[in-house]
Structure 1
Amino acid sequence: MSRLPADCLTEIFEHLDDKNSLYSCLLVNRLWCKISVGFYWRDMENYSTSNFNTLISCLPNESKEILSENKIIISTPTLNPMFNYASFCKVLSIDRVYTKVEELLMNQENFPFHDLKDDIIILSQEIFKLFVKQISSLKKLVTFWSSHNCITIYPETKNFLKNLSELHCNSDICPILFYHLSQICHNISLLNITFNKLISNGLKDLIFVQKNLKYFNLMQYNYPENYLPSLITKLPNTLIKLNLYGKNSNSLSFISNFTNLQILQLSFQSSENFEDFDKLQHVILPKLQILKIQRAFPKCELLIKFLENNGKNLKEFYLSDIKGYSDNSLNLAIAKFCPNLKKLSTGIKNDELETLKIIFNNCQYLESIKIWCGSIFLSEKEALETVVKQSHKNISELILYHLYYVRPRLFPEELESFFISWENRVPLKPLSLVIITDYFCINTLDKYDENMKIIKKYIRSGVIKNFEVTGFEEDESTNY
């Protein structure tokens, strides 16, 4: 094992998500150590101030002289660096460089920020220079508040950026940066842009020159004052995932251009943001497999027509599982037009239990379902009983999403009865049970010791393969 070639080890280490396991690899031999160190240093968003301290010790003499001339003195490790750490970086966050350099200088010199502003810029620029010269091929660039160009002023910039595949930024960052990126980066696969009131010149050109754009995330908190509508029409037909989040003042008709779209996520704050969804109701997206309409949703009759045209190919459908809107006619349409679903999240009110049974009967490929609990929605008991009695053999994950206070509570004997019935299913599929709740939902099943003893019992017996209690924020963050 210790003699495996570097490319094999790299492939194996890719699957190590446990830092302790990766740390133990450092101690095997020099090759293992180098590859492990590369993984530690790959993503700058995980860097601490100690990482930047090490980077400063790696600066060339020319940069150290510039720091000395400006009376910037940083205590660095006394030992010579074992590796060229900057060369391992594949994810560069411009914002994090400034933030951590500021933190480092303030800890070092104990001066207020306004006295260190020039020093922060000087030291950060030398670190950027190090990265540009040492990184052979950057994969991901993150910059949400950079107001000046700091990485495209060097001769090595073209090689540094030529294989960039992800860009995460605001719409109003330095226009010169957008200009240079549009000259160099033509094969970005993921663009994640937060649109503010201003859109810098050059962003439109950057989007226009992309030849292989697959994923586009648009987060809009303010209505831009200039050409957002003309900008989004420049998106290429290569898109397979489109995520629109926040506010929306633009026509959604442009979505019809993306015939290769596989994932569509619309997370708007208000139903008013769906004003012209009627232009999409007759659109056919032949490759669409995942549809997420979170928070608000459009008029039910329009969405039902959209499902009639596109529901057959859907594998996953998530409906308003943040705001808690629900409609029985829409749920019946899901059962009618989406027979191939494998994952579903929707609200079933406590007087619509028959609708859930129809969904289970028609959607026989369902593997995972998220059911809302509390208030006007189902109780935990109703949800568990219906799933175990009505669902087909493919179901293996149940998510109980507690939008409101749970009434009534689930008693231990009711929970035990559910697991006995699940254990007797043929064939038996071990269950993944996820509870989404918070501190204020005091009656959820996980809050009672007797229930937790039962759950541990069925984990030991293998009936439960995974049990997890998570909060609303964690659940929402997995969607973006």
Structure 2
Amino acid sequence: MAYRLPADCLNEIFEYLELDRFTLHSCLLVNHLWCELSVRILWRNTLNIKFDYKHSFKIESSILSTLIACLPNESKKLLHDNKIFISTPTSNPLLFNYASFCKTLSIYEINRMIDSVLKNKPSLDSKYKNSLVANEIIKMFASQISSLKKLTYHHTFYYNLNVSFPHFPGARDLLELCCSSDLSSDFFYQLSQICHNLQSISIDFYDSSTNELKELISSQNNLKNLNLSAFNGSWADIIPSLTKHSHTITKLKLYSDDSNSFSFVSSFPNLQELIISSFDGVFEDFKKLQYVNFSKLQILKIPYECPKPEYLMKFLENNGKSLKKFYIGGSNKALRLSIAKFCPNLKSLFIIFKNGELEVLKTILTSCQYLESIKIWCGKDYLSEKEVLETVAKYSPINFCELKIHHITTNSDASPDDLESFFISWERRTPKKLLSFIIIDDMEIYYGYSFEILEIIEKYEDLGIIEFITKSEEKENEEEEEYYDFN
């Protein structure tokens, strides 16, 4: 008799395969037990996964038809009576109640999926019918999901259907909430009564905050991550509620125009990650923050406009020693040099070097001896790829293993000999480390290298010296966001 692993052991193995959906799909075909265990994982985040655009319509149609098949009979009858006909995947009873497996729920994705699938069936009252389908599916989730972990609920102009959020007992286990401030007060009140263990809250502000939203924030027991975006509203009203969690919040992301204050950041002494984006470029509140000591801060990201260099340099003087990752979209030469002085323990860095600042790059590489990854713009008014390769080969520290080059111009200025010389130098390094050589530009497949250079790259890939990766700028930015969300 063949030996069979127990279900709990198989389940633990399948959990490691969560990101490998291709392998999990193959597990569906082994036997009923494997199918049941893997389908639970596959459906857990189904409404929160980005699919390849080429196949998205087919996949979304399959998901929607399966959800329609899961609806209770009274909901199916309601849709039928309103002349809404969505085919189900089979006329036989479903093997599983797929809706009950979902642990993440996005009202936006439900609306978008319904609109995408039904747009080929236009009618005068299509918006009403789409809302009807969305409401029945959401009601089903509310009754079937026993333990919801993540909820995303935003009003959008395009998919702003007439959706009412039902009583949702499974939301008492909610860990992550992403929402907009202009949702109904009933929604926030309902959550504030049953949901007290949120670890992450993301809010887009389109108006002033309601008392129910403030109460929801205040009622949490262990809030760790906070993400606030305000371009047409203000977060000022909720600051008193936020500061009640001053000792538990470790990750803070702020995106704003010039109407919002950043000074309340000083209330969170245990911050480990801080991301600030201000599109007005003023950052006057940084005048106060420059003197605050965040002894546990490891990640600092300021991707767009930069505070005044003297403010940020003073901030780095107070906090740079603990930083592991620093990402900044704008700066001056003095600020770039201050990184070498105040941030000796960096592992990952993105900063823009201007043309003629090769000595600044050398200083950083020799001063930051724990550096493992750097992202550099090349072309136009920035460093040339040829000189970057030479400098990294000669001065990068022993732990260095990832070079990201963002080509601002279409073609590289490096010759085949320049690339080969760089790879030979890397091959001779001690200790030997595989180098991730990453090229970023506006296209997913990079055409800036000549055929001769691509042959050299392939040669050193085959030798196990480098790993060559191409990314679009959009994909690089998405991966950066995922990194900050995951860690």
Q: TM-score, normalised by structure 2?
A: 0.89
Deviation at 1:228?
5.3
Unmatched runs of 5 consecutive residues or more in structure 2: 50-58, 482-487
Tell me, yes or no, if structure 1 residue 171 matches structure 2 residue 176.
Answer: no
The superposition leaves residues 102-158 of structure 1 with CA deviations (integer Å, 9 ceiling, x where unpaired) of: 444454xx332x4133333333222222211211101111111167663333xxx22
After superposition, residues 383-422 of structure 1 pair within 5 angstroms as: 383-402=388-407, 404-405=408-409, 409-422=413-426
Is 1:335 matched up with 2:340? yes
Structure 2 Cα separation of the partners of residues 233 and 132 of structure 1: 32
SS at match of 2:312: helix
User: Which residue of structure 2 aligns with residue 60 of structure 1?
Assistant: 72
**How far 1:261 moved relative to its partner?**
0.7
1:319, 1:345 within 8 Å by CA — same for their partners in 2?
A: yes
Instruction: Evaluate the alpha carbon distance shift between residue 99 and residue 440 of structure 1 in structure 2; reply closer, same or farther with a 3 A threshold.
Output: closer
Letter in 2 for 1:75: S
Give the aligned residue type for 1:97.
Answer: I
CA contact (8 A) 2:298 2:324 kept: yes
Change (3 A) 1:267 1:5: farther
Moved more, 452-461 or 43-52: 43-52
Please state whether the residue corresponding to 2:275 is helix, strand or coil: strand
Q: Which residue of 2 aligns with 1:20?
A: 22
Alpha carbons 1:147, 1:174 under 8 Å: kept = no
2:225 and 2:69 mapped to 1: Cα distance?
Answer: 38
Looking at structure 1, the residues matched to 412 and 161 of structure 2 have their Cα atoms a distance apart, in angstroms, of: 54
**For residues 405-444 of structure 1, what are the structure 2 equivalents within 5 Å?**
405=409, 409-438=413-442
Q: How does 1:236-385 map to 2 (within 5 A)?
A: 236-272=246-282, 274-320=283-329, 325-385=330-390
Residue 22 to residue 408, structure 1, CA distance change in 2 (3 Å): closer
Residue 10 of structure 1 is matched in structure 2 by: 11
- Give the secondary-structure state (helix, strand or coil) at the position aligned to 1:37: helix
Deviates more, 1:418-427 or 1:341-350: 341-350
Counterpart residue type for residue 412 of structure 1: P
What SS does the corresponding residue of 2:480 show, helix, strand or coil? coil
Query: 2:154 touches 2:183 (CA, 8 Å); kept in 1?
Result: yes
Q: CA RMSD in A?
A: 2.4
Matched positions, count = 464
In structure 2, the residue corresponding to 1:218 is in which secondary structure?
A: strand
Give the equivalent residue in structure 1 for 2:478. Answer: 477
**For residue 468 of structure 1, what is the aligned residue in structure 2?**
469
1:45 is the counterpart of 2:59? no
- Paired amino acid for 1:471: S
Render the CA deviation track for 1:170-207: whole Å, top value 9, x for unaligned: 11122211111111111111112111234444211111
> Is 1:152–2:166 an aligned residue pair?
yes
- The equivalent of 1:90 in structure 2 is 103
Q: Which residue in 2 is equivalent to 1:197?
A: 207
Taking a change above 3 Å as real, the CA distance of residues 149 and 198 of structure 1, as seen in their structure-2 partners, is farther
- 2:122 matches 1:121: no
Distance 1:134 1:312, change over 3 A: same
Alpha-carbon shift at residue 423 of structure 1 (Å): 0.8
Q: Name 2:54's counterpart in structure 1.
A: none
Distance in 2 (CA, whole Å) between partners of 1:327 and 1:448 is 34
SS at match of 1:20: helix
Match of 2:94 in 1: 81
Letter in 1 for 2:336: N
Spell out, residue by residue over 1:67-98, the C-alpha distance to the aligned partner (whole angstroms, 9 max, x if none): 34444444322111011111110111112223
Q: Is the 8 A contact 2:273 2:297 kept in 1?
A: yes
Q: Per-residue CA shift, 1:423-445, capped at 9, x if unaligned?
A: 1111111101111112599xx88
Residue 56 of structure 1, CA deviation: 1.7
**Paired residue type of 1:10:** N
1:406 offset after TM fit, Å? Answer: 6.7
